[in-house]
Amino acid sequence: MSEAPVETAVDDVQPKPRRTGFRHFDVITSIAAIFISAVSLYVAIEHGRTERQLVAANVWPFLREIRSNGYGPDNDLAIGFSNAGVGPAKIRSFELFYRGQPVSSGLDLLRKCCGLPSNPAGIKSALPHGLYYDIVDNTVARPGEDHPVIKVHRIPSAMDVPNRFSVALGDIRFRACYCSELDQCWRTNLQSIRVEPIKECSAPEHPFDPNGP
């Protein structure tokens, strides 16, 4: 059995790659080895990227708006969002606008759109069943879960505020920012299927508190 070739130096002895004695063949073999190593590295990187994409797809959330004049068994008036994705959505911020103007609360919206009085007695008279609201910032929406942020009960008799709210639904717009379990984040208007990927959700420019004054 032949021994592996070595190279000697003053301070050390290093193994020397075996050579065939054919210079061109040795060069081709070396290039082929480098090429195979590069291909293997590329395949490993692509495989890892594919695995990450599959994991992300399995926890992908997707928020869609709720804008309804017949929501639930009582046919309530409702606005909000639902999670149509396959993974939970971490809601970082939710903003609401009426005719382009920011809205700070559910009562503020009904004042702007529908002539809701400011005094408690007037509010109770205009909304005898009250105003349903749901806090959404820094909450989690499960797949398939609805979040009606504001809900107004329909009244059989003619009531100005609910009727005006029904008409105003088309003038309401949203802006939300949410993240997946993997902290991939998106900003959306809840209408378009195109969402904006962002690094992280910042504080809302116009905070919305459904239970605010």
Read off the pTM: 0.73
Is there a domain that residue 205 lies in? no
Averaged pLDDT of the chain = 84
Please say whether the beta carbons of 59 and 181 come within 8 A. yes
Please say whether the beta carbons of 131 and 109 come within 8 A. no
Q: Which of 78, 63, 66 is nearest to 109 (CA)?
A: 78
Strand-pair partners of 123: none
Residues 150, 87 share a domain = yes
Residues 191, 140 share a domain = yes
- Alpha carbon separation from 120 to 129, 131, 164, 185 (Å, rounded): 13, 12, 19, 40
Residues 71, 44 share a domain = no
Residues 44, 90 share a domain = no
Structure tokens belonging to residue 89: 């959505």
Residues 100, 20 share a domain = no
Q: What is the pLDDT of residues 24-50, one digit of tens each?
A: 666 677 777 777 777 777 776 665 666
Residues 168, 135 share a domain = yes
Residues 125, 81 share a domain = yes
Residues 171, 85 share a domain = yes
* Structural domain that includes position 92: 63-198
Burial class from Cβ neighbours inside 10 Å (0-12, 13-18, 19+) for residue 102 reads middle
Residues 67, 26 share a domain = no
Residues 170, 86 share a domain = yes
Residue 184, pLDDT above cutoff 80? yes
Q: What is the pLDDT of residues 69-118, one digit of tens each?
A: 999 888 899 999 999 999 999 999 999 999 999 999 999 999 999 999 99
Tokens 């994991």 found at:
55
Please say whether the beta carbons of 82 and 186 come within 8 A. no
Q: What is the pLDDT of residues 118-137, one digit of tens each?
A: 999 999 888 888 899 888 88
Contacts of 55 (CB under 8 A, 6+ apart): 182
Structure tokens belonging to residue 149: 């942020």
